[in-house]
Amino acid sequence: MATILDGKAVSAHVKAEVKREVEALAKQGVSVSLAVILVGDDPASHTYVRNKEKACAEAGIRSKTYRLPADTTEQALLALVETLNADKAVNGILCQLPLPKGLNEAAVIAAVSPEKDVDAFHAVNVGRIMLGNYAFLPCTPAGIVELLDYYRIDPAGKRCVVIGRSNIVGKPMAMLLLHRDATVTVCHSKTEDLAAITKTADILVAAVGKPRFVTADMVKPGAVVIDVGMDRDENGKLCGDVDFAAVEPKAACITPVPGGVGPMTIATLLKNTVTAAKLQNGLR
């Protein structure tokens, strides 16, 4: 029986700490606020944004969501970002991805002020992550590292394999594990003989976006398995990138979906928003 890495429980600790920090800042006259931009009708995006709004409210962070129609022009979207950049009452800005077709995600990411970029997607923040002197941590990878820390799973010296090389998960995940002295291999859709590589992993991170993609024969006995996927199976049920039922008996530790990486991602977003407020108020 594997240890279940309980992101829901661990994120509750992180959120409680964030709440204490927000209260302490309020006593110093500093309020913490997040602006969320949501364009279009993607149901998953609407759910994610609702979860973020709820988490902000519970932590005492003011959040305001700008819901824009799918036919919003890039010009209008960039104008909103500029307004929020200039608004001193806004500490963090998050534009929920993916954007509807026709809108240039790279342009929007580049438009957000790096000081308010609580997703850490801006090139300046990506560069800082690469160099290891970052203010904002990329939410999903940093949430995963926090989860590993909580369970005292030290990546140092370990062989880590990340499946996926997206800018928001795979690449920064590899970088954070490298900063923790892991030996990291990044795999992707062109990787040959994927299973031969994943089977070498002490820590395996799956960020593929394909339901139950990682099967038991791809996992080394005793591995730590981190499932980033938020997928829908053939019946429309939420599941991860890992075949949990088959892999769990083989793994030492595993994250469930839901209740694993997802809550940790949101907890890190809250932390980043507090960091932004502190930096903007000269408190860090």
CB of 198 to ligand NAP, least distance (A): 9
**Nearer residue to ligand NAP within complex by CB, 114 or 209:** 209
Tokens 């829908």 -> residue: 232
Q: Which residues are catalytic?
A: 52, 96, 119
Greatest pairwise CA separation for the chain in angstroms: 57
Among 209, 246, 252, 279, binds ligand NAP (CB under 6 A): 209
Beta strand ranges found along the chain (DSSP E) = 3-4, 33-39, 62-68, 92-95, 159-163, 183-187, 203-206, 224-227, 231-232, 238-239, 253-254
Pairing outcome for strands 159-163 and 183-187? parallel
Closest residue to bound ligand NAP by CB = 166
Q: Does the protein bind ligand NAP through residue 172 (CB under 6 A)?
A: no
Q: Does the protein bind ligand NAP through residue 27 (CB under 6 A)?
A: no
Contacting residues for 167 by C-beta, under 8 A, at least 6 apart: 121, 126
Query: Roughly what angle, to the nearest 10 degrees, separates helices 261-280 and 139-150?
Result: 110
**Nearer residue to ligand NAP within complex by CB, 155 or 262:** 262
Count of beta carbons in the 10 Å neighbourhood of residue 3? 13
CB of 255 to ligand NAP, least distance (A): 9
CB of 41 to ligand NAP, least distance (A): 17
String marking each residue 117-146 x if it binds ligand NAP according to CB under 6 A: -----------------------x------
Q: Consult the annotation and say whether 113 binds a ligand.
A: no
Q: Does the protein bind ligand NAP through residue 265 (CB under 6 A)?
A: yes
With contacts defined by CB under 6 A, name the span among 52-60, 152-160, 215-223, 257-265 that binds ligand NAP. 257-265
Q: Consult the annotation and say whether 166 binds a ligand.
A: yes
Q: In what order do the strands lie in the sheet with 203-206?
A: 3-4, 253-254, 224-227, 203-206, 159-163, 183-187
Pairing outcome for strands 62-68 and 92-95? unpaired
Count of beta carbons in the 10 Å neighbourhood of residue 131? 10
Among 19, 46, 62, 165, binds ligand NAP (CB under 6 A): 165
Type of residue found at 16: A
Among 108, 225, 262, 275, binds ligand NAP (CB under 6 A): 262
Pairing outcome for strands 238-239 and 231-232? antiparallel
Q: Does the protein bind ligand NAP through residue 228 (CB under 6 A)?
A: yes
CB of 142 to ligand NAP, least distance (A): 11
**Nearer residue to ligand NAP within complex by CB, 3 or 189:** 189
Contact positions vs ligand NAP (CB under 6 A): 140, 163-166, 168-170, 187-191, 194, 207-210, 228-231, 261-262, 265
